[in-house]
Each structure stands twice: as C-alpha cells, then as structure tokens.
Amino acid sequence: MGEGLAPEHLLAAFLDSPNVQLHTLMEQLPGLLWTTDRDLRITSNWGTGLAAEEFRAGTLAGQQLGEFLESADRHASPIAEHVEALKGVFSQFEYNWKSRVLEIRVGPLRTKSGEITGCLAMAVDITDRKRTEEQVLYQARHDALTGLANYRELMDRLEREVRRAERSHQCFAMLLLDLDDLKRINDLQGHLAGNRALKRLATVMKEHCRVTDLAARYGGDEFAVLLIDSDTGMANNVAQRIESRLRTDAEKPALSVSIGIGVYPDDGRTAAELIEAADRRLYQSKKSSSSRIVSAP
C-alpha cells in the first residue's frame, strides 16, 4: 500500500493489473481490506488479517461493521468515518481494537457512474510502530538515570501550567531541590554511590507526588516538582515530607536536600519568574543553618 493511497484507488490498481491473478493478490494484502453496503454491512473482505487474527476472504461478509469492530456508536470512530464515507469523505485515523492499534483508511465505494454504494476501507496493525514511537518520545523527555521527567519536559509542562492557571485563576507551586553534598559523595565513595543517591532522591520525590504532579531532574544535582492546584501551605507540606523521608532513611550515605518554593501567582506569572523565585529561596536554604526549606513568607 502506497503512503496516502486512497482505498478506492488501491482497489482500482488491483482491478486494472493485467499481470497478476486478482484473487491471489488480494489475499496477500497486508492487513485487512473490506467493503460495506450503505447500511454498513460488510459485503466482502480480503487480506492477511490483523495482529494474531486471520480472516479468510469473504468470511466477514454479512456482519455489521459495528459488530466486527466492536463499536455501535455512529458518532464515534470507526463508525463515524464510514458514515462520512457514504457522503464522499475520505478519512485516515487510528483505532484501538482488541489491545491493538489499527491505522484505518476509509472512503466511498462508487460504481462506474460515480454513485456511492457503500464504503471501502483498509486497516493495518501499527501497534509495534506506536510502541516504538512512544518509547522514543519517553526517552526524549525523561532522565535516563532517575526515570523522572527531564528539563525539556519540565519546562514544557511549566509553560502549560502557567497558561492553564491564567485561564482558571488557580494557583500552583514549584519546588526546586538540591541534593546536598553530592560532590563529596562522589569524591569519597565514587560516582556509582553518587548515582544511587540521585536515584534515592528521585524515588522519594515520586512517593510524595500525586498523579497530577510532575517530578523532574532539573539538571545535575538539582530537581524540581510541579504541584498542581497547590498553595504555599501544601507546597511546604510536600517539601517537609520529602526532607523528613530522606532524613530518616537508614540507607547510607545519609542524604539531605535544600528546597526553595515558588508559587503562582504570588511569586510570578511567568515560568521564568517562578523559577527565579524558587531558585532564590533554594540558595537561601543552602545558606541557612536552621532550615533546609525556604518558601514565601
């Protein structure tokens, strides 16, 4: 199947080919090709099948399309696109079917005079390709060592939260965390111990984040947490729980963090202003002998 080739053009190419047996060629099509009548009842099918399921030519004939594709809603995919095809509209879309992802192309099936008598559609299983794409995207947006979001994902999410908060007039908070004495751990015990320390902090951060929050490695020994729909009090509570959990951890070497807090909109209405406020307080916390957490007064 050529990229972007409409189903009716694909079928026409087969019918016009003088050098192959049409039946054999249709049976060897990758994926599944089917036609329907105007009532969306399958009238024919060809191809090698989908995923682990094989369908011999013609075995689906007589079934309602919604029954085969397990969808009865005429206003939702994939039925909605077939309804549009009956109006002359071509569609290409993805559809989740039996734990697989299908790429479906559907268009009108016409007679030689141009009358639309049904639909012509083709589906290809793209599950493996989607998994690969998702894995590549995940790796591009996550830190390989800790599994947390990376700087790029953090900044994109922060910008989105600023825009959302502008519309909803809700507040949110940002924590900047610095793992204390990482250089000393690396110098005395080696970089493997330093890496374990970074991963320990990442684990504690994830333990104290809600599903809606985002824990990220900001860079080097610096980390960040976006706390959605949170105020200064909630941010302080999370910071204290992270600090306390590390302080009571029996694993060696003992770890501690310095934390600075920035809250939207009190500390700024842009991503840069919030980072600056949190970073300023992080610096204050590192200099403080009484508290490792500094937030807005």
Cβ count near 205 (within 10 Å): 25
Residues 6+ apart with CB under 8 A from 17: 25
| CATH superfamily to which 143-294 belongs | Reverse transcriptase/Diguanylate cyclase domain (3.30.70.270)
Q: What angle do CA 278, 211, 172 make, to 5 degrees?
A: 35
Q: How far apart are CA 145 and CA 147, in angstroms?
A: 6
Residues constituting the chain? 297
User: Helices H, strands E: what count in the chain?
Assistant: 10, 10
Q: Where, residue-wise, is CATH 3.30.70.270 in the chain?
A: 143-294
Q: What angle do CA 267, 270, 271 make, to 5 degrees?
A: 95
Structure tokens at 244: 């306390």
Domain 7-131 fold: Beta-Lactamase (3.30.450)
pLDDT digit string, tens, across residues 141-179? 999 999 999 999 999 999 999 999 999 999 999 999 999
DSSP H stretches of helix in 28-173: 65-68, 79-85, 127-141, 151-168
For 73, the 3-state DSSP assignment is coil
Residues 6+ apart with CB under 8 A from 228: 161, 172, 210, 212, 213, 214
pLDDT at 2 over 50: no
Q: Whole-model pTM above 0.95?
A: no
List 125, 143, 213, 221, catalytic entry: 221
pLDDT digit string, tens, across residues 94-150? 999 888 999 999 999 999 999 999 999 999 999 999 999 999 999 999 999 999 999
Q: Is 221 a catalytic residue?
A: yes
Q: Where, residue-wise, is CATH 3.30.450.20 in the chain?
A: 7-131
